[in-house]
Amino acid sequence: MSQYTPPLRDMQFVLHEVLKVEEAFKTMPAHAELDVDTINAVLEEGGKFASEVLFPLNREGDEIGCTLDPQTHAVTTPPGFAEAYRQFVDGGWAALSCDPDYGGQGLPVTLNQAFYEMLNSANQAWTMYPGLTHGAYDALHAHGTPEQKATYLPKLTSGEWTGTMCLTEPHAGTDLGLLRTRAEPQADGSYRITGEKIFISSGEHDMAENIIHLVLARLPDAPAGSRGISLFIVPKFHVNADGSVGERNGIYCGAIEHKMGIHGNSTCQMVLDGAVGTLVGEPNKGLAAMFVMMNAARLGVGMQSLGLTEVAYQNAAAYAKERSQSRALSGAKAKDKAADPIIVHPDVRKMLLTARAYAEGGRALGMQVALLIDEAQNAPDEATRRDAEASVALLTPIVKAFLTDNGWLATSHCMQVFGGHGFIREWGMEQYVRDNRINMIYEGTNTIQSLDLLGRKVLGDQGAQLKKFGAQIQQFAMANMQDARMQEFLLPLADLGEKVNKLTAEVGMKAMSNPEEVGAAAVDYLRVVGHLVFAYLWARMARVALDKADSGDRFYAAKLVTARFYFAKLLPETASLIRSARAGVEPLMAMEEDWF
Ligand SMILES: Cc1cc2nc3c(=O)[nH]c(=O)nc-3n(C[C@H](O)[C@H](O)[C@H](O)COP(=O)(O)OP(=O)(O)OC[C@H]3O[C@@H](n4cnc5c(N)ncnc54)[C@H](O)[C@@H]3O)c2cc1C
């Protein structure tokens, strides 16, 4: 049976010792009063909710999944899901980082991010219901009219109502410019929306009183393509003038998908049959407004894979200490037994350490980005807010794609540690692999994230933002250069920084004569930059661990070992990635289409 312990010690390390969040929060008026004890207490309670309430529902959620009643269009979630959601709402967890003006607790996004990591470890499928709700809250908070905010935000904040994002249509996935759902303006200022959406996560369920769908659709006179898309609020039940839930609206679930993983989350085909909606933001500017939700969801998906990486690692490490097979190559270690525990074998250790390094590195990155979001929202001066926002924009595709690719590798390695026992259902490991696979696909596939990073975020501004990030690394390296113990981390970090600069310039040059070069290099490129970000964060974590090396606390000793493993065994992957990126587009396009 699978187990999960919230990694509170490591979270505290990242928050308090690496990122020094208390100091950072002191510069933000909204969070200036927040102290270490409060942060730790919230995470401890959040960890209990994740491990004691959600985690026990994970297995059954996978086995039973969601069911649709085709007569009533009602979806029933797995046993315990609705009750856990009620506890989540009653406990005020939905409101953690929401705006106090709408009933939120006003705590930092950083804290919410750490909380969501634990929820995802415990039960990714369940966590998607409140996760999407929070994204819908973000989009309406940024773009809703005062009336829309007053109507919807308090209920989304409390979690009494949940939210969805309705983008995808059968013929329009990555390319939303193709979408056909139509919105007809009505005399009363509302719109009648008709069309079909597919793959809508949490589109219908029995966990909340109302579901607020954020729907992309076209107005009758809209220009073709992505410039003609508008955003609408379409509630499952109309909302009466006094805020109470009214009649059923014309949006319903026509079918639910049967899929590889996340069975506990309802993936719905949503039919809009003249459903009444209200416009959010300006006509034809819907995609930009929706990007608030999409960016939040992209970070959220990164946290989903981080959560699964952590829980898979915990189980594989425990198993490797108990399962006995073969003797160590250097001779018997457990002489009183017929065989040694498999943790003596170098390759089992490599698999475990890979998952551990990806979990701890991912946690540092996830929290760093969340802290930047807090800064972007709350720093007193505009220049800091703008800088933080630009850093978040650069790092978002890396969180989404690098963490989910790593999560896929890590959960697969952890399953491998179990041998055949990982492949059968009993231990719960194959569910982690299956659940994790979607994270590389939805919210913009990882290919699309890579194109966003290289094409828009890096080449789009002639590398300016990437250079700023490089300058931060240089500053850190300069400050620590004198310490001989840091050389093993700083030298490869500086070396990779230079190589990224060269690679960026080379691809940028080639792309001027052939834009396909961007598409050929992007996926390798994102992984290289992902490693640059991880190497920087691992060097910072090693710095803290070195300072505590004499403390006798084995947490720091283990942190250093993991940092050294990362630099010795994972970072070198960048050499082959750079080679592949530099090989360019020719090997890909030389094949004629009809030869495939
Ligand atoms: C379980 C699940 C839950 C989902 N939840 C939601 C949801 O809540 N709301 C919602 O709106 N959608 C949701 N989706 C849809 C999801 O976001 C899309 O599946 C995804 O964006 C990809 O679109 P597609 O499946 O149509 O693939 P396609 O767009 O057809 O892509 C197919 C392949 O082509 C590649 N490709 C496409 N265009 C390019 C390009 N320009 N360059 C390089 N490669 C390209 C893709 O990377 C991919 O590998 C969900 C999907 C699933 C499976």
- Model pLDDT for residues 441-492, shown as the tens digit of each residue: 999 999 999 999 999 999 999 999 999 999 999 999 999 999 999 999 999 9
Structure tokens, 107: 């705590």
Atom of ligand 1 nearest to the CA of 166: 11
What pLDDT is recorded for position 122?
A: 98
Q: Is 448 in the pocket of ligand 1 (CB under 6 A)?
A: yes
Mean pLDDT of 54-63: 98
Query: Residue 113: enclosing H or E segment and its boundaries?
Result: helix 109-143
Nearest CA to ligand 1 atom 41: 448
Element (H, E) at 134: helix 109-143
Burial 530-559 (b: 16+ CB within 10 A, else e): bbbbbbbbbbbbbbbbbebeeeeeeebeeb
Under a CB-based contact definition with an 8 Å cutoff, are residues 121 and 307 in contact? Answer: yes
Both structure tokens of 157: 């904040």
Instruction: Judge whether residue 296 has pLDDT over 90.
Output: no
**Under DSSP, is residue 595 helix (H, G, I), strand (E, B) or coil?**
helix
Give the atom of ligand 1 at the shortest distance from the alpha carbon of 444. Answer: 21
Kind of pairing between the strands at 230-235 and 67-69: unpaired
Task: Look up residue 154 and give its two tokens.
Answer: 């308090």
Contact between 357 and 7 under an 8 Å Cβ cutoff? The reply is: no
Beta-bridge partner residues of 185: 191
Question: Would you say how long the chain is, in residues?
Answer: 596
Bridge partner list, 268: 200, 256
292: confidence class by pLDDT, cuts 50, 70, 90: confident
Q: What is the pLDDT of residue 291?
A: 87
> For residues 443 and 301, is the Cβ–Cβ distance under 8 A?
yes
Question: What local confidence, expressed as pLDDT, does residue 293 receive?
Answer: 84
pLDDT digits (tens, 9 = 90+) for 119-143: 999 999 999 999 999 999 999 999 9
Instruction: State which of 199, 201, 258, 448 you would mutate to test the pocket of ligand 1, scoring each by most atoms of that ligand within 8 A of its C-beta.
Output: 199
- Answer whether 190's CB lies under 8 Å from 254's CB: no
Q: How many other CB atoms are there within 10 angstroms of residue 12's CB atom? A: 17
The CA distance from 279 to 282, in Å, is 8
Q: Is 443 known to be catalytic? A: yes
Residue among 279, 305, 320, 439 at smallest CA distance from 362: 305
Positive/negative CA dihedral, 523, 529, 532, 537: negative
In short, whether 167's Cβ falls inside 6 Å of ligand 1 is yes
Considering the entire predicted model, what is its pTM? 0.97
Hey, is 210 helix, strand or coil? strand
CA atoms within 13 A on the CB side of 574: 27
Nearest-10 crossing angle of helices 429-437, 286-322: 160
Task: Say yes or no: CB of residue 173 within 6 Å of ligand 1.
Answer: yes
CA atoms within 13 A on the CB side of 568: 9
pLDDT over 90 (residue 1) = no
Whole-angstrom distance, CA of residue 332 vs CA of residue 555: 28
Q: Could you give phi then psi for residue 248, rounded to 5 degrees?
A: -70, 135
**d(CA 448, ligand 1 centre) in Å:** 9
DSSP annotation of 250 = S
Tell me the pLDDT of the chain averaged across its residues.
97
What is the bridge-based pairing of β-strands 191-201 and 74-76?
unpaired
- Residue 428 CA to ligand 1 center (angstroms) comes to 27
Split at pLDDT 50, 70, 90, the class of 185 is very high
347 C-beta neighbours (distance < 10 Å), count: 11
The protein residue whose alpha carbon is closest to atom 6 in ligand 1 is: 200
For residues 274-281, average pLDDT: 98
Which residues, including other chains, have CB under 8 Å from residue 38's CB and lie 6 or more apart? none
Give nearest CA residue, ligand 1 atom 31.
174
* Ligand 1 neighbourhood includes 200 CB (under 6 angstroms): yes
49, 130 contact by CB (below 8 A): no
The C-alpha atoms of residue 582 and residue 50 are separated, in whole angstroms, by 44
**Tens of pLDDT along 245-255?**
999 999 999 99
pLDDT tens, residue by residue, 491-531: 999 999 999 999 999 999 999 999 999 999 999 999 999 99
Distance CA 218, CA 235 (A): 18
- Write the pLDDT tens digit of every residue in 396-415: 999 999 999 999 999 999 99
- Which among 508, 534, 512 is positioned nearest to 521, based on CA atoms? 508
- Predicted confidence (pLDDT) per residue in 153-172, tens digit: 999 999 999 999 999 999 99
Check: CB of residue 447 under 8 Å from CB of residue 457.
no
Asked whether 548 lines ligand 1 (CB < 6 A), one says no
Rounded mean pLDDT, 76-105? 97
Task: Tell me the two tokens of residue 429.
Answer: 């490991």
Tokens of 203: 């589109």
Using DSSP's 3-state secondary structure scheme, residue 324 falls into strand
Stretch (H or E) spanning 402: helix 382-417
The DSSP output letter for 350 is: H
Q: Which of 169, 204, 375, 443 is catalytic?
A: 443
Question: What is the full DSSP assignment across 258-322?
Answer: --SS-TTS-EEEEEEEEEEEEEESSTTBHHHHHHHHHHHHHHHHHHHHHHHHHHHHHHHHHHHHH
Average pLDDT over residues 568-586: 98
Q: Hey, CA dihedral for 93, 98, 102, 105, is it positive or negative? A: positive
Residue 428 has pLDDT above 90, yes or no: yes
